[in-house]
Amino acid sequence: MTEERPDLSQVLIRCVDGQARRAHVTVGHVGIAENGHHEGGFLIAYQPGEPAQDNVISGNTIGTDPGRTLELGNGWSGVWIGGPSNRVTDNAIADSGDSGVTLSDQSALGNELYGNIIGTPSGEPALGNGLDGVRVQYGISGPPAGNRIGHPEAPNIIVGNAGAGVRVIDGSSNEIRGNSIVGNGGLGIDLGAVGVDPNDTEDADTGPNGLQNCPMLQSVTYGELSTEIDGPFHAQPHRQFWIDFYGSEAGDPSGYGEGEYYLGSTSVETDAFGNAWIWFEYPGVALFPSATATASDGSTSEFSGVISNLQEAEDMLLMQGPAGEIQIDYTPACGATDHVVYYASSWGPLPGGVNWTDAACFLGATGMAVFDPGEVAPGSWVYFVIVGQNYLFEGAYGESSYGAERPEAIAVGACERSRLISPTCP
């Protein structure tokens, strides 16, 4: 049922006029990797009138070894699909010269990508694909449509690819939900032109996935046991949408989100003016939240902007008393109900980090702490960082006076509460 075409792709599934339909092929547990000598990994080919359909590619490693350590990438896409209703599940797809998976052509309808690792997770050798994780684009006959890339119950991990996590250049109703998309060179999801597409009035614009408008997250509120996220959403009037929420350990440099971990979903319906208010409560700590909107036709938006309410303590004043003690006065950030001040001194600026040597703990809502550095040699530098400890958080109030995030305070055990260091204000 498969043709070997070592000069083109390692596994070719295609239909040719006048020949038997190449459908219902299942290929699994095949290592597809050949040091770039092959142009592609799997090719499910387009052929007018006889599209290759209903095939399953499952459980393979494509472009690397099963341990995901070797660079064995194919010259172009790891998987290229130009036919309908194929399923690509539970594969590792890495080190392609082009995108991890390309969905192309008018006949690329209703394909499903579930449970794949596209690129390489952080901490593993960097074997991201050379273009996008998943690319949806016009082919010979037209644009793809109605494909499903991930689902909250069967997400893909799309990480460390050179371009976007998922790029939809052409086509409509391509659903992108529930995935872990992080650490890609471009946006997590990029529709149309490279970069963020601004929302428009009543989402009247047209383009890939209808250039679906995304939610505008406005606030994130950290409670004792949960995180509340809310904000406005503006799109086409009288339509229903799924709003998917994600958290990330860090925001994307663009200020727009990727979605490192899926938090959950809510549905909304826009009013006659295209407005809706979104609200979501996550039972835990959700850092750098972002969201996408998916219309009832399956068109998913780009990610929203990330909320990052990073703040620093203000009005800091340092004074040295007659006995050499140092008093710092300040206004704690974020209205913290409790906080800690860590202290260190050294010769000159420290290139490698600060060894925090003292701390003042359980300072409540006040803005004053006193340290005795003892005999301070001329030329010494002193550093402070003020850390909130509201609720579940050990939230950082921005950078330390050293200019770096305070690491977990192993050297200063007295204040340790075994809490998460948050880059945002609680």
Q: Find where tokens 């969201």 sit.
A: 291
| Cα gap 338→360, rounded to integer Å | 11
As given in the structure block, the two tokens for residue 58 are: 């499952």
200 vs 405, beta carbon nearer Ca ion: 200
| Cα gap 325→412, rounded to integer Å | 19
Contact call for residue 170 and Ca ion (CB under 5 A): no
Contact call for residue 423 and Ca ion (CB under 5 A): no
Size of the residue set binding Ca ion (CB under 5 A): 10
- Strands (DSSP E) contained in 96-225 are 101-104, 112-114, 117-119, 134-137, 148-149, 157-159, 166-168, 175-176, 180-182, 189-191, 219-222
CB 327 within 8 A of CB 319: yes
Contact call for residue 186 and Ca ion (CB under 5 A): no
Minimum distance, C-beta of residue 199 to Ca ion, in the bound complex (Å): 6
Question: Which contiguous run of DSSP H or E holds residue 9?
Answer: strand 9-13
Contact call for residue 132 and Ca ion (CB under 5 A): no
167 vs 406, beta carbon nearer Ca ion: 167
- Tell me, what amino acid is at 301? S
74 vs 212, beta carbon nearer Ca ion: 212
Minimum distance, C-beta of residue 195 to Ca ion, in the bound complex (Å): 5
Binding pattern to Ca ion, positions 190-229, x when CB under 5 A?
xxx----x--x--x-x----xx-x----------------
As given in the structure block, the two tokens for residue 402 are: 């050293």
Contact call for residue 50 and Ca ion (CB under 5 A): no
165 vs 210, beta carbon nearer Ca ion: 210
| Cα gap 42→250, rounded to integer Å | 34
202 vs 338, beta carbon nearer Ca ion: 202
As given in the structure block, the two tokens for residue 33 are: 């990797």
Minimum distance, C-beta of residue 193 to Ca ion, in the bound complex (Å): 5
Contact call for residue 98 and Ca ion (CB under 5 A): no
Contact call for residue 252 and Ca ion (CB under 5 A): no
Binding footprint of Ca ion on the chain (CB under 5 A): 190-192, 197, 200, 203, 205, 210-211, 213
